[in-house]
Amino acid sequence: MMNVDIGGDGRYATSRSKPYKYSIASWKNWCEKNDCELFVLTDLLLPNEEMGICWQRWYIFDLLESNGIQYNQILSVDADTIIHPDTPNFFEMTDNKFTIVEFDGSWDWVCRSIENYSKYLFNGKMIDWWKYFDSGFWIINEKHKDFAKSMTEFYHENKDTILQLENTFHVGTEQTPLNFMVQLKELEIKHLPYEFNMNDMARKEILTDDLVFTKIGWVYQFNCIPNNTENKLTSYFMEKTYNHLYGVEDSNG
């Protein structure tokens, strides 16, 4: 998990990272129950302007090995998530494949992202949109070392184009290129259902004060929330969800 305060504006504002403490606490709890180790990266490897934070997580093997952390499988998960304490051990569901969660967010955004990255970065090659996944949750293992290296190499070889696309079309950073790379390299994939990374919950009308989403899934991602001025709604729902699931007195009433 990456918890880096970039101290910028918009999606990189300091206010965005303030509720991540609830995410970290929930994942720490789950890891202790399931004999896993939580590693939280708090520093950038390169300036964000040079290489976006989401791209930097593809140095994941170098990070773990340089910190003396042994691993069998590795989950990379976004810091705007909270995991239910009773979540089944998804590491037992991977079949030792590149494991991701079905995407179920804005398909308009996805299709525009695929079209633009296809045209300007992948020489017109296309991917199957129905295989598209959110990059906020993926599981890899030792045999994906070469793929991780190919991601960082691809970025540096195409850095100027990638940065221009990110700043021009605003259709994501590494998520769509990652989907292209996975499909074009024909990696073996294991899909987990939406319950293991419930993104874009507001659009589904389940991001509600009664926390109905906690009754229908395991991992909750607090993204794409409308009218989320200074990330106040992210903070509100992450704190409220954590308090509800982990028996803490709810300061939000």
| Stretch among 65-69, 176-180, 249-253 having the lowest mean pLDDT | 249-253
Q: What is the pLDDT of residues 223-244, one digit of tens each?
A: 999 999 989 999 999 999 999 9
Distance CA 33, CA 161 (A): 44
Q: How far is CA 182 from CA 41, 105, 113, 177, 239, in A?
A: 24, 20, 16, 9, 34
Where are the chain's structural domains?
10-245
Distance CA 100, CA 140 (A): 9
Paired tokens of 189: 């994939």
Q: What are phi and psi of 187, to 5 degrees?
A: -65, 145
Paired tokens of 223: 């993204």
Place of tokens 């028996």: 247
Distance CA 249, CA 40 (A): 26
What number does CATH give the domain 10-245? 3.90.550.10
Distance CA 108, CA 114 (A): 10
Q: What is the mean pLDDT of residues 7-36?
A: 85
Read off the pLDDT band of 10 (50, 70, 90). Answer: low
Quote the DSSP letter at residue 18.
T
What are the helix (H) ranges across the chain? 14-17, 20-33, 53-56, 60-66, 107-120, 145-157, 159-169, 175-184, 232-245
Q: What is the pLDDT of residues 152-184, one digit of tens each?
A: 999 999 999 999 999 999 999 999 999 999 999
Q: Is the whole-model pTM more than 0.75?
A: yes
Paired tokens of 68: 């003396």
